[in-house]
Chains A and B, each alone.
Chain A
Amino acid sequence: MAAATVRLDAIRACLEGTVPGVMATCAPDGTPNVTVISQVEYVDAGHVALSFQFFSKTRRNVLANPVTELLVVHPLHGATYRIAARYLRTDTDGPVFERMKAKLAGIASHEGMADVFRLRGADIYEVESVEQVAAPRHDTLPASPNRLSALRRAALRVAAATDLDGLFEALLDALAQDFGIGHAMLLLLEAGGGRLYTVASRGYGRSGAGAEVALGDGVIGTAARMNTPIRINHATLEYRYARTMREGVAEALVGREIPLPGLADPGSQLAVPLACGGRLMGVLYAESPQELRFDWDDEDALLALATQAAAQLGALAGGGAADDAAEPVPPASAAAPAPAAAPPLRVCHYAADDSVFLDDDYLIKGVAGAVLWKLLRDHATSGRTDFSNRELRLAPDIRLPEVGDNLEARLVLLTRRLTDRQAAVQLQKTGRGRFRLCVTRPLRLSHVPR
């Protein structure tokens, strides 16, 4: 029977691990070997990677005789494909390795084998041919939502944003409304590059603005460190954020840390990097209580959308600085009437890390903390309530990093954090590059020097 050639990227659903693949190898003495394999990872249209977990007969065979054959099955209708593949090399780090490691953790915990499966390497194979050996009787594929059409709607939604706040909202709206993803968050990379901070989220009842994730930590941190999407289709302890122990504990008790929002026990996780011009800018993270929620098309669509958002983030941040440079610094506004009746709000600023506490509860630190402290001091001394982005950028007492940080993003973060805390101090946007400080209780400021 003449076999029709099939493109590898047309059968990616067979490589999700839903139905385990099977691999045949041959020893130098001519003895064939066949084994069930836990993971076949799609690398690109010409390559797959297999997990190297054990020093097995299969592995000894491919090192001596690199030609192999794989049998993979489409989980929805059983169409079966035979892939001839030649072993090229083993990667022990890098994006493919990290993607497989994360996915394997999901598979291992799904199979109850978390202690058994450990990824030693990603064995990279060149695909020589793909052949269908069993065809579905009917075209029984249930119609899945068209992700290309969803991506188009999402791209237009995101492109319409004219400022950062609008961009963050449009991105999460797109996930919810165009892709039906109800739980998501957006994190940006801080200037030092060591951590990501949350600027917006959906589906958690609070924005979680300011919550941080270290590079390399969990699905989000790994996607950032490797600048590659990470997708896990099963609940796994290994990549779960240790947030459950913090639930119900007052934020003040856990120190200067804002708990990361998120599902306690996600069944599916997908993190895609925002990168532009070779520079990582953040991570878009989606999750679901349901297992197997995100497939390859979702990953493609979200990565494309995140890439668009990254370009726009760069343009809006740069454009914002140009815009407000053209506008004069507003004159100090008239002193606002002091809300004398309410009890005073105690505000404490620690110079060491620019952290700010409101009535002994941790609020924020870093650039956002320094910004708030400057605003509150100006307000206390002159009664000013109206401010511009430009004066903050020029202010000597806000130590903005030389390059890479984004004042606008920090203002969005600060605004959302104040909203989350329902603080007696709020920020309100009043125009392009301008905002107002709204204070509803008298302030009592204190400062702890470095």
Chain B
Amino acid sequence: MPAILPPPTSPLGPEQAALLERRVSIVVASRDAQRRPHLMRALGCRLCADGRCMTLLLPLRGAAQVLEDLRSNGAIAAVFSEPTTNRSLQLKGDDAQVLPATAEDETLAAEHLERFVAEIGELGFPASVAQTILCAEGGIAAVRFSVREAYEQTPGPRAGVRLGDGG
């Protein structure tokens, strides 16, 4: 397995890192050889300590095409959005790797579900909605990538602005 070479610095500041720790909705996009995009909701995320590397958890059931795309070309985009505030962030990378989920990943997904139930519960949605959309019953896979680019995605005048160093 080739080593992941993270970018020299992360485009994420403390504010973005904090958002990724919050009770966010996460959707991952890939694309196939014909440049047709595919997407699926992720069950949790973990930003590494230096902010340069992101791990996402995807359900095996429903994410087959996305995982296949990532295995074949590594191009990935993920949007993180906090339902109660609409604060959103998009991360991109080109070196995504699909890895087997660890016990730690399983725990993370279970915790994320619990916290997400509370998040959308504030908007009036019953727990069953979160339990359905974050269902991990068919097993999960981990996807790790280097955070190459980050974009502000909160609706408003700054939406689409690229964050951090890369320009």
Contacts and interface: CB of A to CB of B under 8 A. Distances in A.
A370 to B, nearest CB: 53
B35 A33 contact: no
Given A30-B73, A34-B90, A137 B132 contact: yes
A113 B37 contact: no
Contact of B29 (A33, A67, A80, A134): A33
Interface string B23-46: 001011111001111111100000
Nearest to A136: B132
Contacts of A69: 29, 36-39
Given A33-B90, A34-B90, A57-B160, A133 B40 contact: yes
Contacts of B77: 24, 31-34
Interface in B81-100: 81, 86, 88, 90, 92, 94
Interface string A31-59: 11111101000000000000000101100
A36 B79 contact: yes
Interface stretch (B11-19, B104-112, B123-131): B123-131
Interface residues of A, number: 46
Interface in A1-39: 1, 19-20, 22-26, 28, 30-36, 38
Interface residues of B, number: 46
Given A30-B35, A33-B77, A38 B155 contact: yes
B4 interface: no
Given A38-B155, A56-B160, A24 B29 contact: yes
Contact of A26 (B36, B40, B135): B36
B54 interface: no
A28 B28 CA distance: 19
Contacts of A33: 29, 37, 77, 90, 92
A78 interface: yes
Contacts of A78: 128-133
Contacts of A116: 155-157
Given A22-B41, A75-B125, A140-B126, 10 more contacts: A19-B129, A24-B27, A28-B35, A31-B92, A32-B30, A32-B75, A54-B159, A134-B41, A135-B132, A136-B132
